[in-house]
Structure 1
Amino acid sequence: MVKEIIIGITLALMIFLAIEGYNIFPIFIIAAFGGMLFFILKRNGVLNTAGGKRVVNSSAIQFDDIGGQKSAKQELREALDFIVKDKDISMMGIRPLKGLLLTGPPGTGKTLLAKAAANYTEAVFISASGSEFIEMYAGVGAQRVRNLFKKAEETALKENKKRAVIFIDEIEVLGSKRGQNSNHMEYDQTLNELLVKMDGLDSNNLEVKILMVGATNRIDMLDEALLRPGRFDRVVRVDLPDKDARMQILQIHTGNKPLGDDVDLSQIAKDTFGFSGAHLESVANEAAILALREKSNIIKQKHFEEAVDKVMLGEKTDRKPSKQERYRIAVHEIGHAIISEYVRPESVSHITITSRDSALGYMRQKPVEDMYLYTKDYLESQIKILLAGAAAEMIILKSKSTGSGNDYNEALKMVKRIIFNGMSSLGIVSPKDISKSLLAKHCQKILKEQEDAVNHILEANLQPLTRLSKKLMDDEYLNGEELRKHLNNTEASIH
């Protein structure tokens, strides 16, 4: 309202001066320059008391609405009880927590946990990203930090609340180690201002109690001063969900969707090892989209299975390889599948030569139970599977192709895991101490041993390898049951 009155008075004054015969052109130029300067300063946060930060209504988010993360939620609740039960803790002489740091892979629910924390403490929730504080203009980031804390206090008072939660995502951008950006002191000034503001979060002296919650997937980049007690007092690990947690997340994200009788969420949870909560939400959403494309009133199990493939590998592409290329791709994928069945029977879910994103074809395995430790035997089995595609091409087509590049890269990673975890003939070695030539020699030795084993298995199964490759080229898709049926009907057993 005040802005409109000022603009109206200014226009009226300029019209009056023009009528009286005064030259208003210089005044117009000065006004235009002032307006431009005001716009630049406001855009960069210097004159913006809100700091461009988002005030979010978090009342709908509860801890129970977040699937999985049992330990993280429990640790958060315990930390937040120090804020909720402030009278009890003051009697015990306990200092209230000033900051909580959520760390873990992307998509695991750190933002949702922060919103639930705001609701749990009956606080206003203000969200910002670390990248919003860094500008080329000196002092702008520090000003935005001050504006952020001021906005939190003002919003809490306006809504008659005694607490505010400030959430900064990607805090590693704002709080990276000082001295790394010698040519850009703006980073250090901004971090220094944040440290000062967090030091001032004394609940006994502030009308509004402010809790700082940060989120990062690169805790190693944060400045040590930010992590010390008295600033971020608690570091809460938010990990990828296990099978039970994935089941809970899927139940939450399919609660509003019409599921068919054949849908088995427990199987989908088992097949999605390594998926984050964001991935699982995308699986449920993509399954619904696929059902809509087919004009189906319900979402079926096949829609979820294809959705998992899409989230893992991307959308199907329109690329149409030549007949010779399609046969090579089929041979490659059947090679992977036969070795997969050899090292772990009934492990193949399906095989296809339908292109998705950068993959011209793929073989999907049924995951084993969630694994967090790997034995030498397991790693060698996985190396065999990775080498099998190129080996099959060499046996059937007498040559290899560039389609094995990613397989070789992954195989080398696993070979190095064997070496650097003390499971090779080298014994216990350090990546820093071993020479490149010695490392390369032992990598080649391990790869050659596994490649020889793969060649022996595939040559013993030459007939099914040839027949199944032709069938896959014609049908473009082969499920695991069909594969095992053909393998069990051959004279040469892979077992």
Structure 2
Amino acid sequence: MIKEWVIGIGVAVLLFLAFLGANVLPLFFLAALAVGFWVMMERRTAVPAVSRDAPVKHQVSFDQIGGQDHAKRELMEALDFLRYRDRIKSLGIRPLKGILLTGPPGTGKTLMAKAAATYTDSVFLSAAGSEFVEMYVGVGAQRVRDIFRRARAMAKKENKDSAIVFIDEIDVVGGRRGQFSHQEYDQTLNQLLTEMDGMSTTTTPLVLVIAATNRPDILDSALLRPGRFDRQIRVDLPDKDGRLHILKIQTEGKPLAADVDMEHIARETYGFSGAQLEALVNEAAIIALRQDKKEITQEMFRDAVDKVLMGEKTGRRPTEEELQRVAVHEIGHAIVSELMRPGTVSHITIAPRGNALGFVRQIPESDRYLYTVEQLKQQINVALGGCLAEELHYGNRSTGAQNDFVQASSLAGTMVKCGLSRLGIVDEEHLQESVLDTEVRYILSEQEKETRELLRPYKDDIANFANFVVEQESIDGAVFRDWLEKTVQPAVKERVAAIPMLPPHTGEVGLNA
């Protein structure tokens, strides 16, 4: 409004001077420069668009978020400090200033912040960390001051005693000063620290900061101390029950066929985030649309899992000889996996997806977080099964096992660093590379011998079944188990112990190096 008045008066003055016969051209030029400078300064100091509008209204509730029961419970408890201020005050509890949501991408941190806006009767403003970053000095700090000022003003305007400011990807401006930032970023962070717990901080209305990041390790220590971010809530990948809950939420209202088994899909999707599960359900529905079907079947979900894990099918056309070799390779993985833990092979395919020419997908018996030396060795065996099956059948290996070797070497290195090798307990920081390399080679050599002996009884049968896999392109784990039961050797059954598997190994055959 002030800008319009100034421009109007200025134009009137110029017209009056022109009417009197004065040379107004220099004045007109200076006025144009002043207006241009004014507009530029307004753009530089402008706050994020989302904070200029009315408080954001999100219709997301905590009931709509699956797989994060612990994180939701912690966040709701913290938000109760805003809802029940009188009770909290009577107990002498200091109100929380900030809540930091951390965890892998796609686990629902932003969604939980939206649910917080629905749960609490507070003014809610949101912005991304990148919106506070500018090339002009002082702009970021000004935007921080402005969003807090607006939060307090809106709370007073709506007669509320609290406001929530949500900052997504706070690591952009909250990195450790002098290490992950430069001077302008430091000024912005300093202003944020002052607003959260500084001399001018007020308790009425109270401003609660909710921030999200997947890089808490780079945040400045002053930002993480009590009095600023009082709570750090881990929003982690969901377990099997959590994945099942998310799948039920995502498939609500979708036409599912009678053969769809959500429990089976939840087991197959070990390590999936909430975002990946949402993408999985969406891809299954797209497959149904592509096939002109009215219902989503279990097979469509199976193909959707492959797509989310490995990517879309590629246009590569391997030769018959390459397809045969890939099939032999994948059967090697599948045999070792099934011998170690019956019922774990879910799907075998030689259809190229992403960078893989084929892969075996496994179903873990349960989500595991600790592993013994025997379990690590068994997983190395599974990784080596593909190349050793090629060696038994063709007498040589191919470059397709490159990813398997990387995984096997990583597992062997984990054994050494965790004190599960011949070296015993070691200090990883002072462990010489030559000693580590020697021990890793020894572990891989021993497991290679063991895996070769496991596969040797199947040398003649692998080739015949590989022909069947090439014809079908993809086969279900149940079909593979039927074949394995008919060809399994009693001596092999006696040697193999039923040891729980590690997280599923895709057994993929990569492209040539």
Tell me the TM-score normalized by structure 1. Answer: 0.92
Deviation at 1:195, TM superposition (A): 0.6
DSSP 3-state at the match of 1:373: coil
Q: 2:50·2:127 contact (CA, 8 Å) conserved in 1? A: no
Distance 2:23 2:290 in 1: 67
Q: 1:122 Cα shift?
A: 0.8
Paired letter, 1:41: M
Q: Deviations over 1:100-140 (max 9, x none)?
A: 11111111111122222222221122222222222232212
Q: In structure 2, do the counterparts of structure 1 residues 118 and 492 end up closer, same or farther at CA, with 3 Å as the change threshold? A: same
Rounded to whole Å, the distance in 2 between the matches of 1:231 and 1:393 is: 59
Query: Is 1:261–2:258 an aligned residue pair?
Result: yes
1:447 and 1:27, CA in 2 relative to 1: closer, same or farther beyond 3 A? farther
Aligned residue identity for 2:194: V
Question: Equivalent residue for 1:199?
Answer: 197
CA distance in 1, matches of 2:18, 2:314: 66
Once the two structures are overlaid, the 10-residue window that deviates more, 99-108 or 393-402, is: 393-402
Separation (CA, whole Å) in 1 of partners of 2:20 and 2:355: 73
Task: Sort the Cα spacing of 1:33 and 1:402 in 2 relative to 1 into closer, same or farther, 3 A.
Answer: farther
Distance 2:145 2:74 in 1: 29
Query: After superposition, what is the alpha-carbon deviation per residue over 1:65-90, rounded to whole angstroms, capped at 9, x for unaligned?
Result: 21121111211222222221111222
Which residue of the partner structure matches residue 95 of structure 1?
Answer: 94
**Residue 320 (structure 2) aligned to one of 315, 323, 326:** 323
Equivalent residues of 1:201, 1:210 under 8 A apart: no
Amino acid at match of 1:78: E
Separation in 2 of the partners of 1:293 and 1:53? 43
Change over 3 Å in CA distance of 1:23–1:477 after alignment to 2: farther
Asked whether the 8 Å contact 1:272–1:308 carries over to 2, the reply is yes
CA apart distance, 1:412? 1.3
Structure 2 counterpart of 1:271, from 268, 281, 285 = 268
Structure 2, unmatched stretches of 5+, are: 494-513
1:53-452 equivalent positions in 2, closer than 5 A: 57-181=56-180, 184-200=182-198, 205-452=202-449
Tell me how far 1:35 sits from its aligned partner. Answer: 5.0
Cα offsets for 1:372-398 (capped at 9, x unmatched): 111111111111111111222222233
* Aligned mates of 2:245, 2:488 — CA distance in 1: 45
What is the CA-CA distance between 1:196 and the residue it aligns to? 0.4
Q: Single out whichever of 131-140 and 432-441 deviates more from structure 2.
A: 131-140
How far is 1:354 from its partner? 0.8
Deviation at 1:491, TM superposition (A): 6.3
User: Is this contact kept in 1: 2:99–2:231, CA < 8 A?
Assistant: yes
Structure 1's unaligned 5+ residue stretches are none
Distance of 1:11 and 1:434 partners within structure 2: 78
- 1:41 aligned onto 2:45: no
C-alpha distance in structure 1 between counterparts of 2:247 and 2:164, whole Å: 28
Equivalent position SS for 1:284: helix
Moved more, 46-55 or 397-406: 46-55
1:365 is displaced (CA, Å) by 0.7
CA 1:220 to 1:128, structure 2 compared with 1: closer, same or farther past 3 Å? same
CA contact 1:130–1:170 (8 Å) conserved in 2: yes
Question: Structure 2-normalised TM-score?
Answer: 0.88
Secondary structure at the aligned position of 2:270 is classed as coil
Equivalent-residue separation in structure 2 for 1:22 and 1:467 (angstroms)? 101
- Is 2:350–2:358's contact at 8 Å kept on the other side of the alignment? yes
Q: Say whether the 8 Å CA contact 1:283–1:311 is kept in structure 2.
A: yes
1:454 equivalent in structure 2: 451
Alignment partners' CA distance in 2, 1:140 and 1:51: 17
- Higher mean C-alpha deviation, range 17-26 or range 111-120: 17-26
